[in-house]
Amino acid sequence: MFSAQRYPAAKEKSKPESNLEPIDIREAIYLRMASSNVRSAFKRGGPTTHKIETALARRFFPSLFEEAHFWFLAGRGRGAVVLTPNSIEFVPQAAIRRYVFQNATRQMRECLTSVLLEYDPLSQAVVAMVYPSSRTVVFANSTGAVDVVPSVNHPAV
């Protein structure tokens, strides 16, 4: 069975000392995505089926919302879930400039600044996908619905 004890390094990273540090939420997202049935299938071993992959994919955006909602309620305040090729982090609003803006275009900086002030953290999560070939910002909610923020979705320059 999956448990937080199996991931002590991730658990330690998830306790930043201030609102100025990103929070590594990768393991928490994986655990939220996998239902007890999926975890049982992993425990039994064997190949991953299309059915399991589909179940995991359906839970991706709801899991991002749930984790962002958790950190908001835990006192970290507004923030964005930032996806990069190597990480999934909740970045508090106070830390966005330091951790995201160094890799963002001017358009993305302006969009994120505006979106973080206006979104409803009780019903939406701001998700910034920062990849070498593109930058995208979306709103995700608990049902998995995703609304694209059109002003920032473009190839990286």
Listed by start position, the domains of the chain span 4-155
Q: Which residues of 109-122 are buried (b: 16+ CB within 10 A; e: fewer)?
A: bebbeebbeebebe
Q: Is the pLDDT of residue 4 over 60?
A: no
Sign of CA dihedral 29, 30, 31, 33: positive
pTM: 0.79
Token readout for 103 is: 């890799």
Q: What is the pLDDT of residue 40?
A: 80
Q: What is the pLDDT of residue 61?
A: 95
How far apart, in whole angstroms, are the C-alpha atoms of residue 40 and residue 65?
A: 24
Q: Is the pLDDT of residue 23 over 60?
A: yes
Per-residue pLDDT reduced to its tens digit, 129-139: 988 888 889 99
Per-residue pLDDT reduced to its tens digit, 37-93: 777 877 787 667 788 888 888 899 999 999 999 999 999 999 999 999 999 999 999
